Chains A and B, each alone.
Chain A
Amino acid sequence: MNPSHPLARAFRASLAAAAATLSLIAAPAAAQEPIRIGAFLSVTGPAAFLGDPEQKTLELYIDRLNAAGGVLGRKLQLVAYDDGGDAEKARTFAKRLIEQDKVDFIVGGSTTGTTMAAVPLVEAAQIPFVSLAGAVVIVEPVKRWVFKTPHTDRMACEKIFVDMRARGIERIALISGPGGFDKSMRAECLQIAKKHGIQVVADETYGAGDTDMTAQLTKIKNTAGVQAVLNAGFGQGPAIVTKNFRQVGANVPLYQSHGVASKEFLKLAGDAAEGVRLPAAALLVAEGLPDADPQKKVVVAYKRDYEGKYKSEVSTFGGHAYDGLMLAVEALNKAGSTDKAKVRDALESIRGYMGTAGVVNMAPTDHMGLDLTAFRMLEVRKGDWVLVK
Chain B
Amino acid sequence: MSGAGGALAMSGELAQYLATGITVGAVYALVALGFSIIYNASGVINFAQGEFVMIGGMSAASLVASGLPLGLAIPLAVAATTLAGLALEKLAVEPARGAPVVTLIIITIGASIFLRGLATIVWDKKLHALPAFSGEQPIALFGATVVPQSLWVVGATAAIVVALWWFFGRTRLGKAMLATSHNRLAAQLVGISVRHVLFLAFGLSAALGALAGILTAPITLTSYDVGVMLGLKGFAAAILGGLGSGPGAVAGGLLLGILESLSAGYVSSAYKDVIAFVILLAVLFVSPRGIFGVAAAERV
Is A204 close to B, CB under 8 A? yes
A239 to B126, CA, bound (A): 13
Binds A, one of B9-17, B43-51, B78-86, B290-298: B9-17
Report the contact-size class of chain A (Cβ under 8 Å from the partner): 35 or more
A212 within 8 A of partner (CB): yes
Complexed CA–CA distance, A211 and B125 (Å): 17
Determine if A206 and B269 form an interchain contact, defined as CB atoms under 8 angstroms apart. Answer: yes
A175 to chain B, nearest CB (A): 10
Residue of A nearest to B6 (CB): A222
- Chain A stretch 164-218: residues in CB contact (< 8 A) with chain B: 204-207, 209-216, 218
Cα–Cα distance between A10 and B221 once the two chains are bound (Å): 70
- CB contacts (< 8 Å) of A264 on chain B: these are 126-127
C-alpha gap A212/B136 in the complex (Å): 15
Beta-carbon contacts of B130-147 to A below 8 Å, as 1s and 0s?
Answer: 000000101000000111
- Bound together, the chains give a CA A298 to CA B103 distance in angstroms of 57
| A52 and B125 contact, CB distance less than 8 A | yes
Q: A44-B120, A239-B221 are in contact. Are A222 and B125 (CB under 8 A)?
A: no
- Nearest-CB distance from B142 to chain A (Å)? 14
Instruction: Name the residue of chain A whose CB is nearest to the CB of B265.
Output: A215
| A43, closest chain B residue (CB) | B125
A78 within 8 Å of B (CB atoms): no
By a CB distance below 8 angstroms, the chain B residues around A239 are 127, 221
Q: Does B55 contact A (CB under 8 A)?
A: no
Decide if B269 touches A247 in the complex (CB within 8 Å): no
Cβ-closest chain A residue relative to B19: A214
A17 interfacial contact with B, CB 8 Å: no
- Complex interface: chain B residues within 8 A of A213 (CB): 269
Cβ B220 vs Cβ A218 within 8 A: no
Would A268 and B127 count as touching, CB distance under 8 A?
yes
The size bracket of the interface on B is 20 to 34
Chain A residues with CB under 8 Å of B9's CB are 222
- Of A52, A206, A211, which contacts B221 at CB under 8 A? A211
B273 adjacent to chain A (CB < 8 Å): yes
Q: Is B16 within 8 A of A268, CB to CB?
A: no
Nearest residue, chain A, Cβ from B274: A207
The answer to whether A209 and B229 touch (CB under 8 A), given A48-B126, A246-B138, A248-B16, is: yes
Cβ contacts under 8 Å, B226 to chain A: 211
Interface presence of B20 (CB below 8 A): yes
Cβ proximity bits B99-140 to A, threshold 8 Å, 1 near / 0 not: 000000000000000000000100001110100000010100
Q: Taking the complex as formed, is B261 at the interface, i.e. its CB lies under 8 A from any CB of chain A? A: yes
Near A by CB (< 8 A), chain B positions 141-160 give 145-147
Complex CA gap A268/B126 in Å reads: 10
* Residues of chain B in range 235-265 having any CB-CB distance to chain A below 8 Å: 261, 264-265
Question: Is there contact, CB below 8 Å, between A224 and B1?
Answer: yes
Contact across chains for B221 and A268 when beta carbons are under 8 A apart = yes
Contact B13 A49 (CB under 8 A): no
Q: Which of B126, B136, B145 contacts A52 (CB 8 A)?
A: B126
Q: Which residues of A contact B125 (CB under 8 A)?
A: 43-45, 48, 52
User: Distance in Å from the Cβ of A226 to the closest Cβ of chain B?
Assistant: 14
* Contact A216 to B269, CB < 8 A, known contacts A209-B229, A249-B138, A268-B127: yes
Let me know if A215 and B264 touch, CB within 8 A: yes
Residue A295 lies at the interface, judged by CB distance under 8 Å to chain B: no
B53-92 vs A, Cβ < 8 Å mask (1 yes, 0 no) = 0000000000000000000000000000000000000000
- Minimum Cβ distance to chain B for residue A257 (Å): 17
* Given contact pairs A209-B229, A268-B221, A215 touches B126 in the complex (Cβ within 8 A): no
B189 at interface by CB-CB < 8 Å: no
Contact partner of B220 (CB less than 8 A), chosen from A43, A240, A247, is A240
Judge if B272 is at the interface, Cβ distance under 8 Å: yes
For the complex formed, measure the closest distance between the CB of A111 and the CB atoms of chain B, giving whole angstroms: 15
Kindly state the separation between the CA atoms of A52 and B219 in the bound complex, as whole angstroms. Answer: 24
Q: Is the CB of A214 within 8 A of B136?
A: no
Q: Which of chain B's residues have a CB closer than 8 A to the CB of A49?
A: 126-127
Asked if B24 and A212 sit within 8 Å, CB to CB, the answer is: yes
* A-chain residues with CB within 8 Å of residue B190 when the two chains form the complex: none
Whose C-beta in chain B lies nearest to the C-beta of A205?
A: B270
Q: A240-281 CB contact bits vs B (8 Å, 1 = yes)?
A: 100100111100000000000000100110111000000000
Q: How far is A383 from B37 in the complex, measured between Cα atoms in Å? A: 43
Is A210 touching B272 in the complex (CB atoms < 8 A)?
A: yes
Q: A residues within 8 A CB of B270?
A: 205-207
A64 at the interface (CB under 8 A from B): no
CA distance A72 to B223 in the complex (A): 43
Q: Are A212 and B220 in contact (CB under 8 A)?
A: yes
Complex Cα distance, B138 from A270, in Å, reads 14
Q: How far is the CA of A248 from the CA of B126 in the complex (A)?
A: 26
How far, in angstroms, from A215 to B1 measured CA to CA in the complex? 20
Are B136's CB and A270's CB within 8 A?
yes
Contact A249 B272 (CB under 8 A): no
- Are the CB atoms of B20 and A215 closer together than 8 Å? yes
| Contacts of A266-321 to chain B: CB distance below 8 A | 267-268, 270-272
Which residues of A have CB within 8 Å of B220? 211-212, 240
Question: B5 to nearest A CB, angstroms?
Answer: 11
| Given A243-B136, A248-B138, 4 other A-B residues pairs in contact with their CB atoms under 8 A | A218-B13, A219-B265, A240-B220, A249-B145
Identify 8 residue pairs between A and B in the complex whose beta-carbon atoms are under 8 Å apart, listed by A's number.
A52-B125, A204-B269, A214-B16, A216-B269, A218-B13, A222-B12, A243-B136, A268-B221
Cβ-closest 9 pairs across A and B: A211-B220, A215-B265, A44-B125, A215-B264, A48-B125, A218-B16, A249-B145, A247-B138, A214-B20
